[in-house]
Chains A and B, each alone.
Chain A
């Protein structure tokens, strides 16, 4: 393994084989050109990397609770400013949050909003595996329509989760932060570029990174890159940035694949392939098309706000 990549987050963590989280952590942190402090929400990353008395973290690290990573980061960053002003600290530092979708979209939304609104100089990275994985795969508000999750199981009278994903990017954007981007662990160079930009941003920045979960999405452990690629190739997970309010689409697929191509690779969507769910799959495809067109429109609209 690339030695430099593992300098900050060591091998020896215990994420599932084939989990995309470590790659996200390593590549984001590798873009930092100064010391970083990591703030982590409760979730898969936290429980698999900090088993007392060991730790995979070779950078300063704090896990406080599930819903308050952003507030904790705000406190750390405020302490940094206070101590710098008083001359007690000289080094330049960056603060990076890693939190799951549950810790971001749901229980941590208020703390995130506070952190963004107050303008703390923190990069918040949400690794999005579309559910509460650490507790076994329950629905979160990042879970897509039709997913068979523990709290929204598919059954004779249900085709799984009924509710559409919360549009987190738009929520974060409404806080008028300078830089936010949607990325995908299957596109590492794109992710790294975004991490670099985010780390260079003064004030809050936000990355929403798709992280296919072999364990709950149910696909072979060798396939997270393949599945991640399909998510973007179907336009389900577009890669884009919002820089000073301006939308930039990073990858325009000439002939997007049909969503079935993506759905059929994961057991969480297995039931959607049966004829009785044809209409639902059609709706899912239509939504993807509509959202993609919305993004194109916003990109063409140029500067949306000042």
Chain B
């Protein structure tokens, strides 16, 4: 085995901070909230030690942190921030402005439940609540992906002229130490390159008006343009991930298919639970059932076609959501239903691990058992909840 000094054992939060250190952004307006705080603390220490030359701005709220990020990125500075839960909810108004202005801000998110009641633990309610804000949403399964996605995400955002949320699961990923392989500093810096924007506030020779008023004669088209730009992200992602593979050897596709090619029954989910689900797939495969997993990475834009192709040969699939859309169906399930509308298969819906509730292998086994036995409910089922 080669002795590799780039192999590290880091929490997801620390992995994100390491990636930020290497990217060396210009500005980072920050505000603390659990479970995101270790990211900005670790990164602030890097800056204090001279390992990154980023201006940290200690904002007085998340609303101001993202507002300052808009100002800073528009000024022409590469800008990053981080948040969770209530912080992301507080930013909501400005998230739309950042994307409407086409500013490629990078935001690390440790996904967490939303109040009320207040709960600091992991789920996807916060990020799913922000799914229509016009930000790219890139989810990570583990520390390695957090690290890689932060680097890929920076380039992807700038290439697409859209802001990006690089998302990890609060605590499960943000606070658990896992092995990962970093890249040399120089490789990362070269990969992301220098940030250049067409219009910058600080380009006083070419004054530009950011954030104008638009009336019914122009607003509609501007929003269509924004949607087109978002759709382009799928292509941009493949290009960026391809470039990343060249420097890292790590191969990231739009979705991750795990033993899904010949599977009769496929589980679709997002985030850290994919790790556990892969073990379950292996165990059930050993018993002779053809099961597999599709892991969603980009949630916005959503890779409808890729999902459809990946599951089209299956007999049934199950979707596990880590948030609720009150009065409707869960967010990922809704996207999957849209993806498979031309496929002949049954789709089951499960919600799991809200507010940091555990999810066990037995819960995932049950999902596969339901698929295999054809026990597919019309309703969304709750895993490991006390209602049943």
Contacts and interface: CB of A to CB of B under 8 A. Distances in A.
B215 interface: yes
A290 interface: no
Contact of A71 (B55, B71, B93, B203): B71
A62 B94 CA distance: 14
A80 B70 contact: no
A47 B213 CA distance: 6
Nearest to A54: B212
A292 interface: no
A52 B77 contact: no
Contacts of A82: 26-27, 53-55, 72, 77
Given A50-B212, A114-B59, A114-B60, A60 B27 contact: no
B60 A111 contact: yes
Contact of A51 (B57, B72, B200, B215): B215
Contacts of A50: 209, 211-213
B204 interface: yes
A15 B287 CA distance: 75
Contacts, number: 162
A130 B307 CA distance: 56
Contact of B209 (A61, A68, A93): A61
A79 interface: yes
A110 B60 CA distance: 8
B176 interface: no
Interface string B94-123: 100100000000000000000000000000
A37 B54 CA distance: 22
Contacts of B61: 110-111, 114
B211 A74 contact: no
Interface string A162-175: 00000000000000
Nearest to B209: A55
Pick from A76, A91, A111 the residue with the most CB of B within 10 Å. Answer: A76
B60 A53 contact: no
B130 interface: no
Q: Report the contact-size class of chain A (Cβ under 8 Å from the partner).
A: 35 or more
A299 to B, nearest CB: 32
B308 interface: no
A71 B59 contact: yes
Interface in A68-101: 68, 70-76, 78-83, 85-86, 89, 91, 93
A52 B213 contact: yes
Contacts of A117: 60
A66 to B, nearest CB: 9
Pick from B26, B67, B76, B204 the residue with the most CB of A within 10 Å. Answer: B67
Given A68-B94, A86-B26, A110-B61, A75 B70 contact: yes
B70 A64 contact: yes
A83 B76 contact: yes
Contacts of A46: 213
A250 to B, nearest CB: 32
- CB-CB nearest 10 A-B residue pairs: A75-B71, A75-B68, A114-B60, A79-B77, A71-B64, A79-B75, A68-B67, A63-B211, A71-B67, A75-B72
